[in-house]
Structure 1
Amino acid sequence: MAGSDGTFDFCDLVVPGVRELQPYQPGKPIGELAREYGLSESRIVKLASNENPLGPSPKAIEAVRQAVQDAHRYPDGNGHALRSALAERHGITPERILLGNGSNDLLDLVARTFLGSTRQAVYAQHAFAVYPIATRSAGAEGIVAPANGVEHRQPYGHDLAAMTACITPRTRVVFLANPNNPTGTWLAAEELEVFLETVPGDVIVVVDEAYVEYAQGLAGYREVSGWLDRFPNLLITRTFSKAHGLAGLRVGYALCRADIVEFLNRVRHPFNVNSLAQVGATAALADPMHVARTVELNHRERKRLTEDLRRLNLRVLPAAGNFLCVEIGSQAAAVNEALLRDGIIVRPLAGYALPRFLRVSLGTGEENDRFMASLQQIHARGLLEVTA
């Protein structure tokens, strides 16, 4: 069919699932904000993408610096060194580990391997935006389960009973984030265990643990890699982008059965994890103290910033990650704009059906102070509503 200008309308060639999708919107880059508002990059604070404010481990930086000399060589397509280090860390064989170009790559691999035009995936309302993108681009139907109510102890988080009710004979994948992005809420180990016992064995359950390091020690939380032998249909995704501070290198991994890895490998792009990412991630695993410092800073700032926000009578959702989901009110978009003009980048959540909320990554103490100072000025202008 020809378009209005007489050229062919390529929309007719696009598969229906992709045609209806909205592209993923990442956090606004510092350089883009500087260009748009005429700001100096040095005074911009980015608290939009849940990055590690301490950056990578010095060991990872040095390893990457050395490895770049061999950048003319293709990467190890099997990621032997990194998979071996991860296998030792998790007490499993390397055959049960798959590397990805960030955990997003792994979510897409699962969708392309197990979904299709006659199949369904189930995920929760207010869950990570990549789940519907991966599902629908694979031609499958996405079933959105209602989230917890506003008065629940984990408001807007995953309602596992509702997700169970959404599973049909056509369901082949369930996506769960624990902790969840963007709400920050988490699932107790007991309820997650019951859910896994309930899900049919022919449904792959993806437990996305991108923020696992930050959730340790919270009431009821437990990472689930120890359950891999109990639940053959369990697949866990992890990332080096958050606590390890390697977001720019794009490296993640999946833990699951060896035969599932074998099928995922059939659709995985060759050399999907570059040499620098493999070397940097392997070195990062050898520096647990860097992760410990990161988590310590995060816990301290999470508590402090939560208290500061609540003193402004703002509602802060329960937080298990390295960010806070804050109810700003009906003027959330205007508040976000005011923060941008002051050089503070946070994440608006209208795209997650949470238009009254902003998600704020936890930065250094100085960065968080900058955010609070700007927000207090906005509060003085009357843009904030009492939501707590």
Structure 2
Amino acid sequence: MNYSELVRPDVLNQPIYEPGKPIEYVAREYGLEAASILKLASNENPLGPSPLGLEAAQRALREAHLYPDGGCTRLREALAQKFELAANQFIITNGSNEFMTLLCQAFCGPGDEAVMGAQSFIAFKIGVLLAGAKPVEVPMPDMRHDLDALADAVTERTKLVYLPCPNNPTGDCHSLAAIEALIDRLPDHVIFCFDEAYAEYSDDAPDLRPLIAAGKKVVCCRTFSKIYGLAAFRIGYGYGAPELMALLNRVRAPFNVNAIAQAAAIAALSDHEHVARAKAVNHAGMHQLTQGFEALGLEYRAEGGNFVLLKVENPAQMFDSFQQQGIIVRPLKPYLLAQYIRVTIGTETQNTRLLKCLEATLHEGMSNSPPDERPSK
């Protein structure tokens, strides 16, 4: 018998998360210098990691022979102070993806369901399927979550309802009032999971802490991968009721977060200068890119987060053309958005390079088209 005959049958149907192409891979494939590659595919911080976080990580390396604090005590205390919650209301995970997996492991199994948007972050679906449960994917008209439709999809088998704000990759977000209305419609056997991975980029991100304090079955999760620039350290966290955190800790692996990542995250929380600069660069970059897309007559979506969704006629060709010129973007076919690519917002210089590459690629496509197929101005 081969391994495929021995494995759990549902594993064979498990979707595989497809990360952005590594810089070294693209450089080697196209004969480019790795230093010249511009990666705008994975929503990473173009300013790099928090300087305070990086310094703390380097200091922590001197004690790399010691096991990490398995309970992430100092980090949970730092988060408790930041959010004005108790330390036992937090769980620290190996990226926010692990949080999604733990939530499903604890509450979902065969016969259970979890409700999510059809173009929501794919980690939701992966975690649900891995637990043997059924993902219920609700259509997203105009690439926005339909909150009424999410509530309507809930049944007696539903355990989880997911909502990101903003959503990766579509960028849509909703007001606090709309989210509260959705939560009020959920029955008592349903847990509402609110993904806040990009919340720090917003001035008015919805705050669900009052709902948690009121006893609503709400759990929120965040990451240090985005605005703090610690993606390589793989560290995220969730917060909610102490009882919920205690249950998630029962399915969490021992020492799931390394000491270097913990040290970096603790320091990054106090790096207010880096966060403010990253937020300002992102705001300016979104304006720069959207203005550039409009000048080129392209359709785009830019609602929140540190990325823009761009509609192009031939995404595969555009993706390859960008790579040949040393720019990595993200095609979105796995999200059922085959006509779109996702572009991470970079620095002013990086955005200028992207727009010049885009303009050249579009003009090349026009010049290679028969006269009667070229778009009119």
State the TM-score, normalizing by the size of structure 1: 0.93
Alignment length, in residue pairs? Answer: 369
Runs of 4+ in structure 1 deviating by more than 3 angstroms, as ranges, are 383-386
Shift of 1:365: 1.0
Change (3 A) 1:225 1:115: same
Q: Could you tell me whether the CA contact under 8 Å between 2:307 and 2:344 is conserved in 1?
A: yes
Aligned to 1:5: none
Where 1:254 maps in the other structure, the secondary structure is strand
Give yes or no for the alignment of 1:350 onto 2:350: no
User: In the aligned structure 1, how far is the partner of 2:290 from the partner of 2:67?
Assistant: 46
Note the alpha carbon deviations across 1:252-304, whole angstroms, 9 max, x for none.
Answer: 01011111111100110111110011000000011112101100110011011
Q: Could you tell me whether the CA contact under 8 Å between 1:212 and 1:223 is conserved in 2?
A: no
Paired amino acid for 2:74: A
Where 1:88 maps in the other structure, the secondary structure is helix
Aligned to 1:282: 266
Paired amino acid for 2:286: R
Paired amino acid for 1:133: I
User: In the aligned structure 2, how far is the partner of 1:162 from the partner of 1:9?
Assistant: 43
User: In the aligned structure 2, how far is the partner of 1:84 from the partner of 1:184?
Assistant: 31
State the TM-score, normalizing by the size of structure 2: 0.95
Q: Could you tell me whether the CA contact under 8 Å between 1:348 and 1:358 is conserved in 2?
A: yes
Aligned to 2:285: 301
Mapping for residues 330-345 of structure 1, pairs under 5 Å: 331-345=314-328
Shift of 1:360: 0.1
User: In the aligned structure 2, how far is the partner of 1:48 from the partner of 1:373?
Assistant: 17
Aligned to 1:45: 38
User: In the aligned structure 1, how far is the partner of 2:210 from the partner of 2:275?
Assistant: 21
Shift of 1:231: 4.5
Mapping for residues 124-203 of structure 1, pairs under 5 Å: 124-148=117-141, 155-203=142-190
User: In the aligned structure 1, how far is the partner of 2:215 from the partner of 2:365?
Assistant: 52
- CA-based RMSD of the aligned residues comes to 1.4
Give yes or no for the alignment of 1:104 onto 2:128: no
User: In the aligned structure 1, how far is the partner of 2:144 from the partner of 2:10?
Assistant: 26
User: In the aligned structure 2, how far is the partner of 1:334 from the partner of 1:302?
Assistant: 24
1:91 aligns with one of 76, 80, 84: 84
Aligned to 1:63: 56
Aligned to 2:299: 315
User: In the aligned structure 1, how far is the partner of 2:229 from the partner of 2:211?
Assistant: 27
**Percent identity between the aligned chains?**
39
Q: Could you tell me whether the CA contact under 8 Å between 1:16 and 1:139 is conserved in 2?
A: no
User: In the aligned structure 1, how far is the partner of 2:96 from the partner of 2:209?
Assistant: 16
The runs of 5 or more residues in structure 2 that have no matched partner are: none
Change (3 A) 1:226 1:289: farther
User: In the aligned structure 1, how far is the partner of 2:298 from the partner of 2:325?
Assistant: 20
Change (3 A) 1:303 1:131: same
Where 1:382 maps in the other structure, the secondary structure is helix
